[in-house]
Structures are given as structure tokens and as C-alpha cells.
Amino acid sequence: MIRARLKRLARLRVQAETPASVHIPLITATDIAELAVQDSLLATLPVREVHDHHAGDWASRWLGRGLDFEESRLYSPGDDIRDMDWHTTARTGRAHLKIYREERQPLVHLVVDRGTTMRFGTRRRLKVAQAVRVAAVLAFTAAGHNGVIGATLWGTQDETLPARHGRMAALGLIEQAAAPCPPLSDPAPTESLRYGDRLAALEVGLPRGARLVLISDFAWLTDAHVAPLARLAARVDVWAIRIVDVAERGLPAMGTVCFHDMASGRRVWLDTAQDSVRNAIRTAFSDRQAAQAAWLARAGVRHSQVDSEADDLIALLAHG
């Protein structure tokens, strides 16, 4: 009894010493309402035509478990000849192509990275908060397209949310993804190894033809992840959305500062007043981004990037 009470008092003391802001959701009800408005704007965009419906050649915006023939149109240079409408071509004497549309209930699976490096931000919000905002718009949009929505939350303990249908399912997903996300202590030495297992779990758990969106800063990404990502991309349509904070692009001149590397747990002192130091950090980040882009491209994964302080997400998501 005494030991239990002491543990409870210790937890209360930690909570009292922790800023109140870390115990509130990442986004508020007002934020969710504003994101729902962005979703309505995104829903007005024209639906893409779908030509490539062969295994591994997914071109649909919201690809599900099947495609339906809709109509034929004139062939344009660059179209896939595997979708030629030979009957119409023979009848008219002009080359025509078959047009397909995605099925009415596509499966969309969102992955929100709530790991150590995502719990960082220097401007308006944490990177993980921006990841939740991106997931919110995509979830509402999927629901608006009559889609089935599932999710996986990567964190200290991963959580998989089963696929459900409708706007209420999207709202429940958003609320769980937006749970308080306080800073974590030094990561475990094996944390970076978990991502290979996570990708393998997605490969096994998702049906062929699903739409998978990975929302992360991809600080964990290495050359070793190219193979599991490629296997995943061979089964499902993978879209990687990389979240970046402005301070990662280039540090301001702040004098001598102690930095904590959240990925490795190391601490290092840097004199940010020196141009050479700031230039070296800027170059290292640029090289890291180029490497990430190359690894994703090798795996056959298309990717986008969004700054953590960006408010309007339509320009990003409309071209995803």
C-alpha cells in the first residue's frame, strides 16, 4: 500500500514538473474543424483517370481492390498501349484507350510516426502535430470518397487502428493520432531496427492494392530499408510524406548552444555564431534529404515534403 502510494506521488510530481502543454492533444477541435474545410476543398478537385491497372503499376489517387471500366477516349502519346481499346480503334479507325475508375470503397491506410525525432518543433507546432494534420485531411478525404480508413501509430508502443468506413471513423482515427505526445527520454539502442519490422508488418497486414501513406520525418531511413520498402511498394500504392522543421534546414546564429540529438541521445556543443558551423549543418541536412529521396526512389516510393509550420495543405495533397 505504501509503495503504491509513493509511486502515485512520484507520478504526480513528474506531471507537476512537466509543462501543461505536453498533456494536451496535438491538435484541437478547432484545428480539426478547419482541416475538415480543407478536406471539402480537396474533394472538389477532379478525379484522375486510371490507365495502369496491372500489378505494380498503380496510378490511381485512391486505389482500392479493383477498377471499373468507364469509357474510351482517343489515344495520346505516352499512354500505356496495354489499355488500348482495340474494338473501338478498329471501328473508328483512330486509336482509343480504355479509361478506368477506382472502385467505390478503396482502402486507405495511414501511418503516423509519433517517434522520438518527430516530437520536435521550433516554430508553430511539433513535426508530429503536422503529421496528424496531414493525416486528418487525408482521412476526411478518404471518407468523402466513400473509402475504408485504417491507421498505424508508430510510437513507444505501436498501435494499429482497424479499417472502418465513414466520417466518424476518420474522426476517431484523428483523435487517437492526436493524443498528447510529450518528449521522450533517450531512445533505446535498438529503436532504429524497429522500422524494418514495422515495414514488414505492413507488407503482411495490408491487402494488395491498398493505398498506404507514410507520414514521418524519415530520420530512421537508411539504405537497409530500401528492400522492405520495395517489397511493400510491389503490393500496395505507397506515398511517403516527409515532415521537416525550418531549423533543420539551417540554424540561426544563437551563439554557443548545447544540442540534444533525439535519435542517438548524444549531446553536443556548437558555436552557431560561426558561418562555417551553420554552413556545415545546412550542407549535412541537404545531403541527408538527397539520400532519403534516392532511397525512396530506388524502392519505387513516390514522396512529398511539407514544412511543419505550413497551414495550407491543399497544394501538397492535391498533387500526391
Report the pLDDT value the prediction gives residue 102, as an integer from 0 to 100: 53
pLDDT tens digits for range 195-254:
999 999 999 999 988 999 999 999 999 999 999 999 999 989 999 999 999 888 877 778
Q: 115: number of CA atoms within 13 Å, CB side? A: 24
Report the pLDDT value the prediction gives residue 60, as an integer from 0 to 100: 43
pLDDT tens digits for range 25-47:
888 888 888 888 776 555 543 34
The three-class DSSP label of residue 283 is helix
Whether the model clears a pTM of 0.85, i.e. scores above it, the answer is: no
Q: Which of 111, 97, 109 is nearest to 63 (CA)?
A: 109
Report the pLDDT value the prediction gives residue 59, as an integer from 0 to 100: 40
Contact 25, 108 (CB under 8 A): no
Q: What Cα–Cα distance (Å) separates residue 285 from each residue in 48, 95, 288, 289, 307? A: 34, 49, 5, 6, 14
> What does the block give as the cell for 104?
467505390
Spatial distance between the Cα atoms of 271 and 253, rounded to a whole number of angstroms: 8
Report the pLDDT value the prediction gives residue 149, as an integer from 0 to 100: 93
Q: How many Å is the Cα radius of gyration of the chain? A: 23
CA angle 151, 153, 159 (to 5 degrees): 90
Q: Which residue numbers in the chain have pLDDT < 50?
A: 1-20, 44-66, 104
Report the pLDDT value the prediction gives residue 316, as an integer from 0 to 100: 65
Which residue segments constitute the domains of the chain, with CATH numbers given?
Answer: 23-45+104-317 (3.40.50.410), 67-102 (no CATH)
Contact 267, 276 (CB under 8 A): no
Q: Is 53 exposed, middle or buried (0-12, 13-18, 19+ CB in 10 A)?
A: buried
